[in-house]
Every structure is written in structure tokens, then in C-alpha cells.
Amino acid sequence: MKLRNFLLAWCSLCLKFLNRHFSTKIIIKAFVGAFLLANFIFLSLLENSLADFCSPFLTLAGIYIIINLPRAGFFTAGFFTGILWFYWISFSFIYYELSFLIPFVIIFVGLIYGLIFWLASFPSFVALRAVMLFLVSYIHPFGFNWLNLEATLVLGIFEPSVRGLIFVFLAAIALACLPKIYKFIAAFVCLVCALQFHTPAYKSLPFKIKLENTQISQDLKWQKEMKNEFINENLALIERAIDGNFTAIVLPESAFPLFMTHEKNLVAELKEKSHQITIIAGALAYEDKLSYNSTFVFSDGQMTRLDKFILVPFGEEIPLPKFIKDTINRLFFSGASDFATASSVSDYELAGAKIRNAICYEATRDELFSGEFDAMIAITNNGWFVPSTEPALQRLLLKYYATKYVKAIYHSVNGSPSEIITPKISVFDKF
């Protein structure tokens, strides 16, 4: 109760401060700019070619509006951007019986990105503010890198890269700073330079692979009485994949909601089935008093465990000093410890192909794409955040990384569609 009262009082003070320093006009403009910057997330849900084409031009409009805002407007635009992109982070608190924290978490996320955008407002000139906004977008609080403006160009005709984003920003600067007779010509030239001219050639896996999709609610997944039912459902999926002559089956993150290292009978059964099909599935592991979020690969009667390398900030680890981390875990997570991690990225062989293992969030990190491999197999549990736009943003980010590193990503998911994500096709190749 004391914590709740403190949070309510803090929120009230913030609202008084906002009323004193921010006008309605600034707030409306900032919201419009932030919404246009986030448009690609919402338009991707339509799966419409015209909406996809329009999306990056709306992003350009959003950048133009934001760089012309006063300093308070920059903060407000960042505040709304943080909320529009990441409001769903708070939904996970439902499953810790902390639903009352949802509005405070949303506001906290907004404030973080508000401060990041505010840093870009210090130069006096619009062009310098645009440059600063471009630069601060690469600040990733607590290592969470999902605010990625390059990914706003995944839809449409422009290249989702540093080059593409630079020229979109230059177009916004031209529209904001140059005289009328020149601004549209300069902006047009910049946008031509931002086009994606080529489709990168990537490798596909040369065998039949079954990407399973499950729709298990997070509030049911870890109920002990449901454990055997989920095991049996997974075994039935494996049998159907065997009947379909698939070389491999991929089950989502934590598809087996248990510590696989404690399940000798289940491991023995999966090893037996792996003589007929390679089984790739998510589960937990426990070793030396440490817990791991892991991928288990069963092939030719053998089991290989591949642990997660990069954890989700505030989801699987608390990226703060130990004394603060321990306090947060004790107050909010019943004293649970952070997950342990692998020492490096993990690969395995599958029918002659070198596969990069990825579990959920880490599939959207540059570190996971280092070194040589043929394709990535990623497993995800989006049950924490559905229904929301989180799966759409994740899919767009995976498309961005698939394009950036020229890799196919085979993605098996709980809570949202499973699919093979490939590099973006150039408009010149598409038409």
C-alpha cells in the first residue's frame, strides 16, 4: 500500500509539472510526430501494399514535425514515442500479480525516451537538432535496442539501413531549412538516394522444416496441473511432423514448460523420436544452482543444450547494480534470481547446414549475427504480451536484421504467427 501511494503521489507531481511547462498545441504536435514515427508498427498489421508504400513517407513527416518542435516538444515527442512503441512491456506484470503497476511502468518508459529525445533539442538550429535526433536514436537504455529508426524503413521502397535513414533525415532537413524553390528538389534527390536498389541473396535451408505455432496463454503455461497436457500436445505435434516426412520440427520458446534437465523419461522419449526427426524445442535448464532459458536439440538419439546468450532487460535479468537488483527481485519477483547465460553465441549442425540458435529477444541483437552460419532458427514466447503490437514490432525488427545480415530467420512462436523471415525485396526486383 505504501508503494502504491508513493507511485500515485509521484505521478501527480509529474502531471502538475507537465501542466505548468507544456501547452496543448505542443502536446498535440508532439503526439502527431510520435505517431507518424511509429506508423510502420500499426500499418504493418494491415498487410496492405498501399499502406506499406505510404509508411516511410509518414515516417519522414514525423521526423519533420519533431525536428521543428521547441525543446519541450522534443521531450513530449519522445515520451509518446516510448509509449507507442513499448506500452506492452507493462503487460508482463499481469503474470506477477502486479497489474496495478501497469500505468506507472508505461509512464516510466515514456519518461526514459522523453529524456533521450530531449537531449537532441539543445542545438539552436533545426538541422543540428535533426542530426542530434538521428544520433540519440542509437542510445539504448539498459541495452534494450528495440527503438530502431532504421527499422521504420522495413516497409516501403527505401533501404532499412544507416544509409537509408540518413537520406530520409536529410530530406526532412531540406524540407525544414531550404527555400521553397529548392526544398522539394533536394528532398526528392535525398529520397532517391534512400531507395533500396538490390535484393541481397540469402541461403534457405534445403530440407523440409516444420515451424510449429502454439497459442497457449501465459497464465496457463506454468500451471503444474497442465504440464502433462502440454507435453502430450507437443509429442502429438512431433508425431504429425514425422508423418509429414519433415526433416526437423521447431517448437517455440518454453514449449516444454519445465526444467528439461530434470525430466529423464521425457528426454529418453525425445531422443528415441529424434531417430526419425530432428526436434528443436524450448525449455528451461538447471545446473549448478543456476537456471537457464535454453533450446534443446534432439537429433540421432542425442541431446544438445544451447543456452540463451543475451537476456531481456527487466524480463530475465535486472541490469542494475547487485544491491538494487536483489531488492527489486525480492520486492517484485518473490526473491527469484536472474537467469544465467551462455558465454557466447551457439551454433549446431542440421542436415549439413550450420544453424545459429536464437531465443526471442536475442534474435534482434547484432551480436547474434557475428561469425559464419547459414541460417538462424529462433524460438519465441509472445504469450507475455498478446494481444498487443509487440509481435508486429518484433517481426519488423527481425525483417530488418534479416536484411542487414542477409540471413533467413526461421521463427517458431507461441502467441503470434510462426514464419520464415527473409531479407526485404527491392522495389526494382518486386516490380
Residue 2: pLDDT above 80? Answer: no
User: What pLDDT was estimated at residue 348?
Assistant: 97
In the structure, what pLDDT confidence band is assigned to residue 320 with cuts at 50, 70 and 90? confident
105, 92 contact by CB (below 8 A): no
Q: Catalytic one among 29, 360, 399, 407? A: 360
* Confidence check: pLDDT of 424 > 70: yes
Catalytic residue among 29, 273, 308, 399: 308
162-219 pLDDT, tens digit per residue, is: 999 999 999 999 999 999 889 999 999 999 999 999 998 999 999 999 999 999 999 9
Best CATH choice for the domain 209-429 from the list 1.10.238.10, 3.60.15.10, 3.40.250.10, 3.60.110.10: 3.60.110.10
Residue 343 DSSP SS3: coil
Q: What is the CA radius of gyration of the chain?
A: 23
Q: What is the pLDDT of residue 14?
A: 61
Within the chain, all domains assigned CATH 3.60.110.10 are found at 209-429
Instruction: For residue range 376-389, list pLDDT tens digits in order.
Output: 999 999 999 999 99
pLDDT digits (tens, 9 = 90+) for 330-347: 766 665 668 999 999 999
* Grid coordinates belonging to 31: 503526439
Work out the pLDDT band at 363, boundaries 50, 70, 90. Answer: very high
In the residue annotation, 308 being an active-site residue is answered as yes
54 is catalytic: no
Residue 225's contacts (CB-CB under 8 Å, 6 or more residues apart) are: none
Q: Which uninterrupted H or E stretch holds 418?
A: none
Q: Active-site residue 224, yes or no?
A: no
From the candidates 159, 253, 316, 317, give the one annotated as an active-site residue. Answer: 253
Whether residue 1 is predicted with pLDDT greater than 60 in this model: the reply is no
Q: At a CB cut-off of 8 Å and minimum separation 6, what does 15 contact?
A: none
**Distance separating alpha carbons of residues 196 and 399, to the nearest angstrom:** 14
Query: Is the model's pLDDT at 16 over the cut of 90?
Result: no
Sign of CA dihedral 271, 275, 277, 278: positive
Is residue 99's pLDDT more than 60?
yes
